[in-house]
Each structure stands twice: as structure tokens, then as C-alpha cells.
Amino acid sequence: MCFQPPLTMQVLETSTNSTVADIVRALGPMGMLVVFGLAAFALYVVSLSLHPYAKCGRCKGMGRHKGSMFSYATRPCNSCKGRGTHPRLGRKVLFKQP
């Protein structure tokens, strides 16, 4: 009969010598997909906090519409209320702000 160390000792011994390849192999393809998905989501949230507004698509960011008959005449954009920007969709969904 030979002595075997407890399971916790085996885990500690193997975890100190693990490389990136060992971690990738342990996670498997689905685990790596989850890790990359979480990293992409974190980058998207950082992007939302740095750049919360997008250009208005209706007036192309100008904040004004040109008249069709009198092209020199302008009016404020109805969609963006003349600001030229809209909050990004992720900002509305994740941060619950208008």
C-alpha cells in the first residue's frame, strides 16, 4: 500500500506549474468562447462609458434638416431635437438612461 497525498495537495502542486496552454486545455473550446465573449462585452461597456452618443441617422449629425423646395431653409431635426446625437442603444439598455 502506498501513501497518496490528499486531493488538495495534488491540485496545489499542479496549479503552480500550469502554463497558458494548460489553462486553455482545461477550459476547452466552450470555456474559451465564454472567456472571449466576456472580454468583448467588457470592452463594449467601456466603449459605452467613453462614447455614450452616436450620430443621428436622420440628419447625419448636423442637427438640422434642409428644406426640399427651398434648400437654404433649415429646421431642427425632429428625431434628435437639434442636438445631432442620440444615446447609443447599449447605453439605453445597460444603464437605463434615456
Both 41 and 56 in one domain: the answer is: no
**pLDDT one-digit tens code per residue, 27-42:** 888 888 898 999 999 9
Both 9 and 36 in one domain: the answer is: yes
- Answer whether residue 44 shows pLDDT above 90: yes
Q: Which helix (H) or strand (E) holds 3?
A: none
Name the residue range of residue 67's domain: 52-98
For the chain, how many residues are written?
98
Both 5 and 35 in one domain: the answer is: yes
pLDDT at 6: 59
Both 3 and 38 in one domain: the answer is: yes
From 18, 33, 50, the end of a domain falls on 50
Grid cell 462585452 in the structure block, residue: 41
Q: What is the pTM of this model?
A: 0.61
What average pLDDT score do residues 71-96 get? Answer: 86
Both 41 and 77 in one domain: the answer is: no
Q: Residue 63 is which amino acid?
A: G
66 beta partners: 74
Distance linking the first and last C-alpha atoms of the chain: 70
What is the largest distance, in Å, between two alpha-carbon atoms of the chain? 98
Both 2 and 39 in one domain: the answer is: yes
Percent of the chain with pLDDT strictly greater than 70: 82
DSSP classification of residue 62: S
Strands (E) in the chain, as ranges, are 53-55, 64-66, 74-76, 85-87
Q: How confident is the model at residue 7 (pLDDT cuts 50, 70, 90)?
A: low
